[in-house]
């Protein structure tokens, strides 16, 4: 399908044991013969497929660049369904770059972002859900997000979506027959079959859609904003959760001026933690900007951790924050419980009953916070080991559109609409599902998806 041959460094450049330079395309093998010599520094007669060959890469002047292991994988049984050459050289920047420059000088061009996987998709080795799973595996930050993505790469989502498409296609074929040959008068039988299928598909699609929020959390982490008035221990809590001194901590109120964001995986719970400036009225221009940014982060947050200082009485700043976050998911924390308790929350009985007591100074309370997050976001949700979970917003939106079409079909049947109307919605449902796996997908969408990949994958 492709007339050119691409090449890229497939490993992260830098100090490491090895680097891998990957070539894919119709001229990959010929280029390998031009740049590779065996252990006797002779051009090899043949590179045997799926074997490692020891030797050297040489430049245009036959000067040795590096000692390497080279492998040849013959099309079509490769990642891209093209001939692939992989050159394993020593780690570091210089060797890999010189080898890449050498193969480029012999007729390759530099691969674009994700172009190896893009070729795998366009050559029919994988579908679009599997291609998207590749980048999700690379970006996985927790065991759960990795496991979800591996299932997609195996084709579990594709298999389920394609099975639905096949069922719809079979019905559409029957509908076409009824429209073209009305004398057979089988409309009632066909419509009954359509209703039976749609009654089955609607809850199935709904079940998948409902997993998307959990999948998004596993993939992106719970956007967690730590909020409170100045000097209650927000930065200390962030350091406590990260197990490192990421945020500056002093006894001076207003130390944190800007938001600080970090990702952490605590006992399988993915958190995107955002430490914010203390919420208070201030004349300091920089601190005021920090407070405004903190409130912006709250609006986009999945979770707010509101911290009180148990050694101080409830103040106006506390009440302002409580009013601002009343419609958010919130975990309330009482910090500095190692000191004398002066905090009275009797006017906020619901908060008082569910508050978590911690002492960051004495490293107490982390387990209680994580257990609370688990109960708020994951209790009663799917087991990633057993269930298929959607973790891609594009998939979710297309599933919602498909389900809406299926529900429209059922509504049309209930209202005794003609089979022509039913056919339109069924076709639209099938088209939306087809977009998930990459059938009739636009070039712009393909380019956008693969542009998120790194070069060399």
Unique residue bearing structure tokens 């080991």: 385
The CATH number for 121's domain is 3.30.1360.120
**Domain end marker among 102, 126, 150:** 126
Band of residue 247 on the pLDDT scale cut at 50, 70, 90: very low
Buried b (16+ CB within 10 A) or exposed e, 11-23: beeeeeeebbbbb
- The answer to whether 192 and 268 have CB atoms below 8 angstroms apart is no
105: which residues sit within 8 A by CB, 6+ positions away? Answer: 60
CA–CA separation, 304 and 220 (whole Å):
16
User: 122 and 69 share a domain?
Assistant: yes
Backbone angles phi, psi at 446, to 5 degrees: -60, -45
Q: What is the pLDDT of residue 285?
A: 60
User: 293 and 425 share a domain?
Assistant: no
CA–CA separation, 165 and 159 (whole Å):
10
Q: What is the pLDDT of residue 341?
A: 82
CA–CA separation, 227 and 260 (whole Å):
12
Lowest-confidence segment of 204-213, 388-397, 414-423 by average pLDDT: 414-423
Nearest to 400 by CA among 216, 208, 214: 208
205 vs 302, which has greater pLDDT?
Answer: 205
CA–CA separation, 166 and 163 (whole Å):
5
**How many separate helices (H) and strands (E) can be counted in the chain?**
16, 13
Q: What is the share, in percent, of the chain residues with pLDDT greater than 90?
A: 40
User: 267 and 351 share a domain?
Assistant: yes
Structure tokens at 439: 């059938």
Residue 169 has pLDDT above 50, yes or no: yes
User: 307 and 243 share a domain?
Assistant: yes
The CATH number for 295's domain is 3.40.50.300
Domain of residue 12, residue span: 6-126
Q: Exposure of 310 by Cβ count < 10 A (0-12 exposed, 13-18 middle, 19+ buried)?
A: buried
16 vs 163, which has greater pLDDT?
Answer: 163
Band of residue 264 on the pLDDT scale cut at 50, 70, 90: confident
User: 397 and 365 share a domain?
Assistant: no
Give the three-class secondary structure for 99.
helix
Mean pLDDT of 27-46: 92
Residue 353 has pLDDT above 70, yes or no: yes
Q: What is the share, in percent, of the chain residues with pLDDT greater than 70?
A: 88
pTM over 0.75: yes
CB count in 10 Å sphere of residue 290: 20
Q: What is the pLDDT of residue 141?
A: 81
User: 228 and 339 share a domain?
Assistant: yes
CA distances to 179, 182, 190, 362, 424 from 420, in Å: 8, 12, 12, 71, 7
User: 266 and 349 share a domain?
Assistant: yes
User: 83 and 163 share a domain?
Assistant: no
How many domains is the chain partitioned into structurally?
3
Residue 254 has pLDDT above 60, yes or no: no
User: 277 and 361 share a domain?
Assistant: yes
User: 355 and 241 share a domain?
Assistant: yes
Residue 384 has pLDDT above 80, yes or no: no
Strand ranges, E, within 80-221: 84-90, 109-110
Residue 47 has pLDDT above 90, yes or no: yes
Residue 188 lies in a domain: yes
User: 205 and 136 share a domain?
Assistant: yes
């Amino acid at each position: 399908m492709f007339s050119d041959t691409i090449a890229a460094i497939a490993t992260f450049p830098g100090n490491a044991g090895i680097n891998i330079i990957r070539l894919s395309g119709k001229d990959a093998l010929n280029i390998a013969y031009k740049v590779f010599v065996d252990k006797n520094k002779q051009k090899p007669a043949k590179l045997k497929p799926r074997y490692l060959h020891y030797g050297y890469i040489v430049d245009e002047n036959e000067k040795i660049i590096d000692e390497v292991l080279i492998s040849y994988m013959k099309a079509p049984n490769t990642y891209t369904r093209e001939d692939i050459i992989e050159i394993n050289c020593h780690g570091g920047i210089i060797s890999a770059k010189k080898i890449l420059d050498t193969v480029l000088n012999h007729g390759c061009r530099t691969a674009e972002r994700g172009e190896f996987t893009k070729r795998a998709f366009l050559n029919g080795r994988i579908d679009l859900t599997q291609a998207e799973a590749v980048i999700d595996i690379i970006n996985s930050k927790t065991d759960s997000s990795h496991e979800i993505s591996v299932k997609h790469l195996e084709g579990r989502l594709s298999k389920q979506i394609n099975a639905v498409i096949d069922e719809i296609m079979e019905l559409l074929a029957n509908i076409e027959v009824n429209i073209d040959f009305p004398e057979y008068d089988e409309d009632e039988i066909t419509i009954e079959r359509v209703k039976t299928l749609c009654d089955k598909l609607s809850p199935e699609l709904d079940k998948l859609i409902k997993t998307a929020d959990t999948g998004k959390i596993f993939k992106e982490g719970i956007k967690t904003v730590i909020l409170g008035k100045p000097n209650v221990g927000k930065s200390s809590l962030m350091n406590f959760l990260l197990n490192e001194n990421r945020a500056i901590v002093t006894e001076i109120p207003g130390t944190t001026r800007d938001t600080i964001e970090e990702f952490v995986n605590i006992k399988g719970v993915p958190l995107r933690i955002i430490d914010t400036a203390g919420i208070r009225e201030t004349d300091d221009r920089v601190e005021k900007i920090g407070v405004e940014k903190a409130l912006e982060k709250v609006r986009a947050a999945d979770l707010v951790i509101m911290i009180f200082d148990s050694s101080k009485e409830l103040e106006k700043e506390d009440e302002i924050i409580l009013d601002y976050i009343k419609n958010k998911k919130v975990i309330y924390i009482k910090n500095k419980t190692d000191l004398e308790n002066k905090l009275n929350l009797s006017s906020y009985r619901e908060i008082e009953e569910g508050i978590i007591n911690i002492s960051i100074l004495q490293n107490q309370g982390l387990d209680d916070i994580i257990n609370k997050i688990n109960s708020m976001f994951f209790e009663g949700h799917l087991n990633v080991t057993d269930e298929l979970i959607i973790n891609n917003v594009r998939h979710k939106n297309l599933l919602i559109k498909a389900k809406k079409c299926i529900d429209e079909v059922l509504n049309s049947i209930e209202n005794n609409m003609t089979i022509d109307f039913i056919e339109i919605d069924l076709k639209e449902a099938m088209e939306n599902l087809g977009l998930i796996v990459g059938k009739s997908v636009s070039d712009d969408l393909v380019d956008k998806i693969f542009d998120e990949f790194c070069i060399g994958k």
